[in-house]
Chain A
Amino acid sequence: MKWGVVTFPGSCDDRDAVHVLRHDLGHEAVALWHKDADLHGVDCVVLPGGFSYGDYLRCGAIARFSPVMRAITEFAAQGGYVLGICNGFQVLCEAGLLPGALVRNRSLRFVCRPVHLRVESVANPFTQLAVPGDVWSIPVKHGEGCYVADAHTLDQLERDGSILLRYCRSDGTRDRHGDVAAADYNPNGSLRDIAGIMNATRNVFGLMPHPEHAADRELGSCELPRCSADGLKIFQSIADWVAETRERASAGSLR
């Protein structure tokens, strides 16, 4: 399994993502420079958190024009796997690889805290290690994480099972008051409590929470009784799916 983690000017969590992939998963992880259109044969591209291009114009608006993004768009069109975290999610929406947009948090303030997420759907490369209804704990840290899209798009996402993660309470419950999200468990006001979505062809996943910051049980002991390693499940899901797909392909080619 080979991962590529993109570094845009201003990316902050790229190093953390590489560290988790190498140290906690034991996989090969290479850095992908934004000016370089070569993806070095990776199986999955990670677009990390941070403030690419200083969030100038809009978050992710400039990153999507970089040479590496052109290569990634092509890669995704061919079925390559792409994981966009926080700023990475913003870049994917700006690039049109995912529908909708991320706008300023309802509170108008940057928020950094662990949140609870309900896993809605598992028949996909990104959450297959979970069971529907599982509640994960992963930190968010963003000022522009409020997911919005028109009602038609939102309904389509629901129908397609493309909403993979929603903000929820520790017991997995949510309020069902139309599109106005409750503040206590939803940190940014995202419509329908959406925290992470994938595309229609099920190979591109964007989420606002940071799985790379919930991947090591030893860290973060002040924020959670025993730090959650729920984030690791996302990376492991992808790795397992890639391995299974490769097995199926080689099994197929033997016939």
Chain B
Amino acid sequence: MDAATHRPDVTLQTAREHGLTDEEYDRLCTRLGRTPTWEELGVATVMWSEHCSYKSSRVHLRRLPTEGERVLQGPGENAGAISIGDGLAVVFKIESHNHPSYIEPYQGAATGVGGILRDVFTMGARPIASLNSLRFGSFDHPKTRYLLGGVVAGIGGYGNSIGVATVGGDVYFDPGYDRNCLVNAFTLGVVEESRLMLARASGVGNPVILIGSRTGRDGIHGASLLASAEFDATSEEKRPTVQVGDPFTEKLLLEATLEIQARDLAVAVQDLGAAGLTSSSVEMASRGGLGIELDLDRVPLRESGMTAYEIMLSESQERMLVVAPPGNVAAIEEICRRWDLEAAVVARLTADGVYRVRHRGVEVIAVPVDLLADPPALTRPIAEPAEGAGGPEFTVDDIAEPRDYQQAFRTLVASPNLCSRRWIWQQYDHYVGAGTVVHPGADAAVVQIVGTESKIAMTVDCNSRFVALDPYVGASIAVCEAARNLIATGAVPLGVSDCLNFGSPERAEVMWQFQQAVNGIRDACLAFHIPVVSGNVSFYNETEGVAIPPTPTIAMVGLVRTPEPITPWFKSPGDAIFLLGRSRDELAGSEFAAVVHGKTHGSPPWVDFDAERQLHQVILRAGEKGILASAHDVSDGGLALAVAEACCSVPTGVPPLGARIRLDEGMRPDAWLFAESQARMLVSVKREHGGALRDIATEAGVPIALVGEVGASMLEFDDLIAIPVGELRALWEGALEQWLEKK
């Protein structure tokens, strides 16, 4: 028996080895009325895996608000789409590639970027910008440097090569991620509304064409074994499950796919991602309510002797499925030839709703499409932790003031979560596409759609420490912060894509975190009228029973409304500095409490959706009048870090400006400087505009305080902190590279 026809017998034991539960195997046998074949077992396993089926999360995700007058496409397709006017739409999504990146950081991150790019251009949208959200362990952990270096190189290596600007993101370091890093990749593309392409198979008898790379043995069971299971001591053996990316081929595939769509040759397009040919053909057929018949002998292969099982489950990258009327096949093949890509008709749509696969003259799979595509959702047990998620309360009275504010401030500025990320983003091409208006280093990135006046703002945020302390509040804070980051650039939020990274859904306390986080996102999105149009769930981010901090990452997209985008750095000496919003002495969960006092327990800051909305109004109104010289969201590190960033985040080659800040006497200095109270913005205006700003704030009901003025060469906080701003900038910008080089 040669390798290509190796087809072991299927038993309950085989099913268990694949990762199916006994109930799942029983359901499969009952529905089929027989024992499944080896190949049927393989495809059912991947389609019913957590990663592909969302079986543990579906009942919760249903609660998210997904509708709005601008929504062209909500969750359920490859990406979400929102109308931005003038007949154009933005298409975007965020997706995780956590487990592969931990095993093989360069390729894991690179193929994560590749996958999300395909999700966007499969819908006919040319990608114009990418963001990424990364979480690593502490710098004391031996693997952190290796992972950070590999992931950044992989994101750059892939993203730069394909020519899509990487314009922003976020990175956090926390011991909770020591053994499970997170790599969430986001891409946004643009398409004419009328040309938005869906992946809904239609037209009985229509051929299905596989285009792109040849199929090899990489990544088999990446979805079921890698993404749907926790890590343990044998995880290194999973390296063959990590896919290998080729950005050059993806660039050709991008151009060919867009050309096929521009010439109206296709009826539906679907990219191949997790679980390769299987999931994309099943999903496409399922959305169209049709059956499909695949002939694996027609699939262009990279290696000889591949079995049907391997061909079905291979996660070889850079491949797409195109459904087209028979008359268009030749034109599609010609386009692929011109771009030096493979193209082969590998399947045909049928009317009987059955998923059939033939290989070497044998029908190896014949199962109803809906059996594969629609596994029952699970209602996993949920249990709130007995002692409360945040542990004992933590207030300012539990700690003494720093003896040396200057030292505490310098420590924070150079700490891993607060220092500048310039070392990272200077490895990404943020110019390609000729549309970047606000480059990395600001509150949100802004990219202009070339040929239009539309400027799209985008950001990605999640303070997972707050989420760990209180998943409901913490998740709503992630939405609030993302909205504030967009508002700070003068943009109105339009839509959210969420990437929910959690531990094992088989543990009731993780499901409680998940449920609460979804509720927090829901309530914040409803309060701001921002729909969730796409997203991703990544479970099983844990190792040997220890889960990551719950990390519901929020990517948010907006449209700039002010005449010019607003930027966070101070512009001119003499400008007046105002703090908008209410400050409270809430230090629990702050970077100050963690870094200076080693305390990470308590309740996250107070959230008030009304206060956030009022703040939005003030910034937008003042921005529309053109009176804001700068605006910066106050978040990690509190007000002191916001001021430091406003001094130092100036563009390359521009000297930083100092400031003199007067503390609020009604609060303990450390609380006022470092608390991470929400709904606040640090703005600067020309002196003569101070009155107008006060009027706008008062009318909106937002507290406003004049806290200082932009100075020349020093940053001073009363007489507590005084540092030459050039030294501050060097400290802030050099810290990450120093952490990386430390022995």
Contacts and interface: CB of A to CB of B under 8 A. Distances in A.
B426 A212 contact: no
Nearest to A137: B653
B433 A16 contact: yes
A219 B432 contact: no
B565 interface: yes
A38 to B, nearest CB: 16
13 contacts: A9-B252, A9-B340, A10-B252, A12-B163, A15-B434, A16-B434, A55-B161, A109-B427, A112-B431, A218-B448, A219-B435, A223-B652, A224-B653
A112 B567 contact: no
B430 A9 contact: no
Interface stretch (A46-54, A119-127, A155-163, A189-197): A46-54
Given A54-B247, A221-B437, A19 B450 contact: yes
Contacts of A56: 248
A16 B432 contact: yes
Contacts of B340: 9
Interface in A170-212: 170, 210, 212
A88 interface: no
B647 to A, nearest CB: 15
B695 to A, nearest CB: 28
A87 to B, nearest CB: 11
A225 B426 contact: no
Interface in A84-112: 109-112
A222 B653 contact: no
Contacts of B434: 15-16, 19-20, 212-213, 216, 219
Interface in A18-57: 19-20, 35, 49-51, 53-56
Contacts of B427: 109-112
Interface in A213-247: 213, 216, 218-225
Interface of B: 156-157, 160-163, 246-249, 251-252, 338-340, 425-442, 448, 450, 564-565, 567, 651-654
A12 B432 contact: yes
A114 B652 contact: yes
Contact of A54 (B246, B425, B565): B246
Contacts of A114: 651-653
A221 B653 contact: no
B247, B431, B651, B654: residue with the most chain A Cβ atoms closer than 10 Å: B431
Contacts of B654: 224-225
A113 interface: yes
Nearest to B447: A219
A63 to B, nearest CB: 12
B426 A111 contact: yes
Given A55-B248, A219-B435, 7 more contacts: A16-B432, A16-B433, A54-B246, A109-B427, A110-B160, A111-B426, A112-B425
A19 B433 CA distance: 10
B368 to A, nearest CB: 42
B426 A112 contact: yes
Contacts of B441: 222
Contacts of B162: 12
Given A109-B427, A114-B653, A224-B653, A54 B432 contact: no
Contacts of B157: 110
A189 to B, nearest CB: 16
A2 interface: no
A58 interface: no
A212 B156 CA distance: 21
Contacts of A16: 432-434
A210 B431 contact: yes
A60 interface: no
Contact of A220 (B156, B251, B431, B432): B431
A218 B447 CA distance: 12
Contact of B438 (A51, A112, A141, A222): A222
Contacts of B247: 51, 54
Contacts of A54: 161, 246-249
Contacts of B338: 35
A64 interface: no
B465 to A, nearest CB: 28
Contacts of A170: 653
B651 A53 contact: no
Nearest to A17: B434
Interface residues of A, number: 41
Interface of A: 9-13, 15-16, 19-20, 35, 49-51, 53-56, 109-114, 116, 137, 139, 141, 143, 170, 210, 212-213, 216, 218-225
A31 B426 CA distance: 30
B432 A222 contact: no
B562 to A, nearest CB: 13
B429 A221 contact: no
B442 A222 contact: yes
Given A9-B248, A13-B432, A114-B653, A222 B426 contact: no
Given A114-B652, A141-B429, A10 B438 contact: no
Nearest to B341: A9
A24 to B, nearest CB: 10
Nearest to B651: A223
Contact of B567 (A216, A218, A221): A221
Among B249, B440, B450, the most chain A Cβ lie within 10 Å of the Cβ of: B450
A9 B163 CA distance: 12
Contact of B431 (A53, A139, A225): A139
A49 to B, nearest CB: 8
A111 B163 CA distance: 15
Contact of B437 (A19, A113, A220): A220
A98 to B, nearest CB: 24
B412 to A, nearest CB: 24
Contacts of B437: 218-222
B438 A53 contact: no
A141 B167 CA distance: 13
A112 B163 CA distance: 13
A111 B425 CA distance: 9
Contacts of B651: 114, 222-225
A246 B459 CA distance: 51
Chain B CB within 10 Å, residue with most, of A20, A139, A219, A222? A222
A55 B158 CA distance: 12
Most interface-central of A114, A139, A141, A210 (chain B CB within 10 A): A141
Contacts of A218: 437, 448
A51 B435 contact: no
A170 B651 CA distance: 13
B652 A51 contact: no
Contacts of B450: 19
B426 A50 contact: no
Contacts of A223: 439, 651-652
A224 to B, nearest CB: 5
Contacts of B425: 112
A56 B340 CA distance: 15
A221 B565 contact: yes
B339 A9 contact: yes
A210 B338 CA distance: 28
Nearest to B427: A110
A222 B567 contact: yes
A222 to B, nearest CB: 4
Residue from B161, B441, B653 having most chain A Cβ neighbours under 10 A: B653
A221 B448 CA distance: 12
B251 A10 contact: yes
A51 B439 contact: no
Contacts of A110: 156-157, 160, 427-429
Nearest to A215: B434
A19 B431 CA distance: 14
Contacts of A109: 427
A76 to B, nearest CB: 26
B251 A112 contact: no
A172 to B, nearest CB: 13
